[in-house]
Amino acid sequence: MDLGLKGKVALVTGASSGIGRESARTLAAEGVNLMLVARSADKLESEAAAIVRDYGVEAASFACDLTEPDAAARAVAATLARFERIDVAVCSAGASGNGVFWEIPDSVWEASFNLKFMGTLRTMRAVLAPMRARKSGRI
């Protein structure tokens, strides 16, 4: 499928596994250059190398913990330093604990909320300024 994305730049959070990883690979197949973001530097570097090899696009990685208040801004800054723009942001970071609903402690729910909701909110805030400046972009 040709979505007209060849040569665009995407920042993908949660890119080391699951939905984030598959989103990154789908975008790479469309010719999109990627900044892969997740906690595990080793997994990200391996995935970036595989994407470059398999799809022939540029792929870089930025390891950070999106529960940290400034992490999304640092990831966006690294993306802009590497690619000079961000056309697409895919916010898919979302690891969480599992177990029986009534037995999961509040601390696990709070950590999950901090990553999924606050991490997404902070990523969206951080990409909006460069997207608005270019009058283009999608989240």
Task: Transcribe 40-82 into DSSP letters.
Answer: -HHHHHHHHHHHHHHH-S-EEEEE--TTSTTHHHHHHHHHHHH
- What is the Rg, in whole angstroms, of the alpha carbon atoms belonging to the chain? 15
Place of tokens 């801004």: 73
pTM score, whole prediction: 0.93
Predicted local distance difference test score (pLDDT) of residue 64: 97
Give residue-wise pLDDT tens across range 74-86: 999 999 999 999 9
95: pLDDT confidence band, cut at 50, 70 and 90?
A: confident
Predicted local distance difference test score (pLDDT) of residue 39: 94
Predicted local distance difference test score (pLDDT) of residue 97: 72
Mean pLDDT for the chain overall: 95
94: pLDDT confidence band, cut at 50, 70 and 90?
A: confident
